[in-house]
Amino acid sequence: VCLTGCSRDVTVHVNQICHQKGVKFFTGDVFGYHGYMFADLGEHEFVEEKPKVAKASAGVEDGPEAKRAKLDSSETTMVKK
């Protein structure tokens, strides 16, 4: 639902109904140079792409470099949030 130009009471009431029904809600208005935008997307899931962390090899000698995890920018993994 996209709502513009309504009073605050109407906007809050419509948002509450949309939130209860799981409907995404957008509202906004402009007042000269000033304006606002509000979005209630409810609960949603998204996927974020992150670089894979390379683990140190077992054959590498012990030391600070061997223990430090390294990022491999060529490989990525998708993380659901």
Distance in angstroms between the alpha carbons of the first and the last residue of the chain: 24
Give residue-wise pLDDT tens across range 3-55.
998 999 999 999 999 999 999 999 999 999 999 999 998 887 778 888 877 66
Q: pTM of the entire structure?
A: 0.53
Sheet strands (E) in the chain: 2-4, 25-31, 34-40, 47-54, 70-80
Residue of higher predicted confidence among 76 and 58: 76
Residue 43 counted as domain residue: yes
Residue 19 counted as domain residue: yes
Tally of domains in the chain: 1
Per the structure, the complete domain to which residue 44 belongs is given by 2-56+73-80
Average pLDDT estimate for 64-80: 66
Position 71 pLDDT exceeds 60: no
Residue of higher predicted confidence among 73 and 77: 77
Position 73 pLDDT exceeds 70: no
Residue 63 counted as domain residue: no
Residue 44 counted as domain residue: yes
